[in-house]
Amino acid sequence: AQSVTQLDSQVPVFEEAPVELRCNYSSSVSVYLFWYVQYPNQGLQLLLKYLSGSTLVKGINGFEAEFNKSQTSFHLRKPSVHISDTAEYFCAVDNNAGNMLTFGGGTRLMVKP
Amino acid sequence: GAGVSQTPSNKVTEKGKYVELRCDPISGHTALYWYRQSLGQGPEFLIYFQGTGAADDSGLPNDRFFAVRPEGSVSTLKIQRTERGDSAVYLCASSFLAGDSYEQYFGPGTRLTVT
């Protein structure tokens, strides 16, 4: 079984500041990791994913994440946020068979002007 | 092209009633997933279809929940004898094939409120 912990339920940040959203996972097998974004009243949208290879993954909208196997982390970062980045962000891990995702509790990113 | 659609967008029902939630996946996607998102939490897996058959229904909470996908496209999630604890947003996702390389595309969800 696996689990995902998002350490911060809310992250307030000023526009153009950098941000890091933290994600830790536990699993007894090798995993694949994902970050999704959910804007109000919309479905989840994939930001980026780590399957293998380079541990630094770049996604859409200027986001990137780094897979750290020793720390079992997959933190999401953006060097300069915009008001439009205000949304709920979910970290997820697959079950190594590619047919279900286990999500963390989400982090609400609030970008202030 | 069209994304995953879900109907209705909102459903209010009384405790004990039966409800059906519908999901229209992206055309050509063979894999379909149902998740449930309770207030303030991340989505939780319910069931996954590959084609017409339920390949994994381990996330269904009890036998009041059932889902079908008779023609390998549209899916219906059915909840009998609804309880207040069933109130949540029910999300549907589809992918071209099941597997990590194939992105799951999510619909906007159906918000179910049981009074």
10-residue mean pLDDT profile of chain B (115 residues): values are 90 98 95 94 94 91 96 96 97 84 88 97
Sequence-distant (6+) residues with CB within 8 A of A70 are: none
Q: Do A98 and B100 touch (CB under 8 A)?
A: yes
Q: Is A45 exposed, middle or buried (0-12, 13-18, 19+ CB in 10 A)?
A: middle
Chain A contact set for B106 (CB, 8 A)? 36, 43-45
Of A32, A44, A106, the CB nearest to B100: A32
Predicted pLDDT at B100: 63
Kindly state the tokens that stand for B111.
Answer: 């918000």
Most distant CA atoms of chain A, gap in Å: 43
Predicted pLDDT at A27: 81
Q: Do B107 and A32 touch (CB under 8 A)?
A: no
Q: Which residues of B touch A (CB under 8 A)?
A: 3-4, 31, 33, 35, 40-45, 48, 50, 55-56, 59, 91, 93, 98-109
Q: Which of A49, A100, A103, A108 to mutate to test the interface with B (most CBs of B within 10 A)?
A: A100
Predicted pLDDT at A97: 67
- Residue A61, phi then psi, degrees to nearest 5: 60, 25
Angle at B69 between CA B66 and CA B72, to 5 degrees: 160
Predicted pLDDT at A96: 63
Q: Which of B83, B92, B89, B77 is nearest to B13 (CA)?
A: B83
Provide the 10 A C-beta neighbour count for residue B73.
18
Predicted pLDDT at A29: 76
Question: Residues in chain A with pLDDT < 70?
Answer: 96-98
Predicted pLDDT at B1: 57
Q: How far apart are CA A109 and CA A38, in angstroms?
A: 11
The whole-angstrom distance between residue B95's C-alpha and the CA centroid of its chain comes to: 14
Predicted pLDDT at B22: 98
Predicted pLDDT at B85: 96
Predicted pLDDT at B89: 96
Q: How far apart are CA B111 and CA B91, in angstroms?
A: 9
* B-contacting residues in A 18-57 (Cβ below 8 Å): 32, 36, 41-46, 49, 51
Q: Which of B56, B97, B104 to mutate to test the interface with A (most CBs of A within 10 A)?
A: B104
Q: Return the SS3 of A82.
A: coil
* Residues forming beta bridges with residue B24, ordered by sequence position: B5
Sequence-distant (6+) residues with CB within 8 A of B16 are: B81, B82
What residue type is assigned to position B93 of the chain?
A: A
